[in-house]
Amino acid sequence: MKISPIMSNSYNNVSFSSCARIVKNKSGSIIYRNTTTFFRNDLDWNSLCMYIKDKYKNANKVNLVCYACSDGSEPMSLAMLIKENFGNDFQKFFPIVAKDVDDVIIRRAKSCFVNMDIEDIRTINNYTNNNIRNYFKFPRKALGIEFIPALINPWFKKGINYSVADIKKDCSNIPSDNTLLFFRNVWPYLADDSERMKLIKKIKSQFSKNCAIVIGNFDNKNISTHNLLLDAGLKESGLLKNVYELG
Ligand SMILES: C[S@@+](CC[C@H](N)C(=O)[O-])C[C@H]1O[C@@H](n2cnc3c(N)ncnc32)[C@H](O)[C@@H]1O
């Protein structure tokens, strides 16, 4: 897919996991940023885990669908959370479907390595009971260098299917039952409230049974995605901020 017109883009920070790539149009205005990080801290990941356990306890298959996945930090965080907390049941959540409108960032997400800094390693160890080596291999010692190259273990890599997609055109592919849809920290990049509401209505009509959507703090900065979701008839989960269900 071609995103046009892209005149410039840059990686301000070479860390994969703290990606801060900016994509601008011809006149220099920002179209969007790929900013992301492992276990981005605007979501309470431990409560999310409890929420998923309860909501999908009777489901044989759960669809974790992550649009605006950027470089993969978000779906990989989700995959680690599931693997650590669901024992043998983890298979019913895999593969996670991860999509982004940006073909450059999806190429990067599909690669088999990540560059991590010490903070990424600390965060991942925190959520995986110091089990980072179950997911990543560190081929060389990295003492004294800023970023540490890590290879994604093949079994873990297979747990996420990446592809390029614009959510506005791809809604019909969202599974309608037992779906947890991530579209986080991206709503301000849509044109205006009318485009946002059109998308919310499409997503809502796609949802049938036991579905929810997860947004981020950035989505309520300057624009109020929260109010738009409520206006469309969704309700915020009583258990967890930033998660909305059919009312
Ligand atoms: C700031 S990043 C958010 C990454 C991640 N969701 C997080 O919260 O850390 C926003 C991403 O949304 C993607 N994006 C923008 N518009 C999109 C659309 N219409 N459909 C799918 N992805 C989109 C951009 O390419 C970018 O990677």
* Residue segments in the chain with a per-residue pLDDT below the cut of 70: 1-19, 140-145
Cα(67) to centroid of ligand 1, in Å? 7
* Measured distance CA(30)–CA(27) in Å, rounded: 9
Ligand 1 centroid to residue 186 C-alpha, Å: 5
pLDDT of residue 32: 86
Does the structural domain 8-246 have CATH classification 3.40.50.150? yes
pTM of the model: 0.91
Cis status, amide bond into 188, omega within 30 of 0: no
218-241 pLDDT per residue, tens: 999 889 999 999 999 999 998 899
Atom of ligand 1 at shortest range from CA of 33: 1
The binding-site residues of ligand 1, defined as CB within 6 angstroms of any ligand atom, are 32-36, 40, 67-68, 70, 74, 100-102, 105, 166-168, 184-186, 189, 216
Q: Quick one: pLDDT at residue 4?
A: 35
> Which pLDDT score is estimated for 14?
34
At 92-139, the pLDDT tens digits run 999 999 999 999 999 999 999 888 888 899 999 999 999 999 999 987
Which pLDDT score is estimated for 6?
Answer: 35
Map out the domains of the chain as residue ranges. Answer: 8-246
In the chain, pLDDT over 70 holds for what percent of residues?
A: 89
Question: How far is ligand 1, taken at its centre, from the CA of residue 62, in Å?
Answer: 22
Residue nearest to atom 17 of ligand 1 (CA): 101
Predicted pLDDT of residue 73: 95
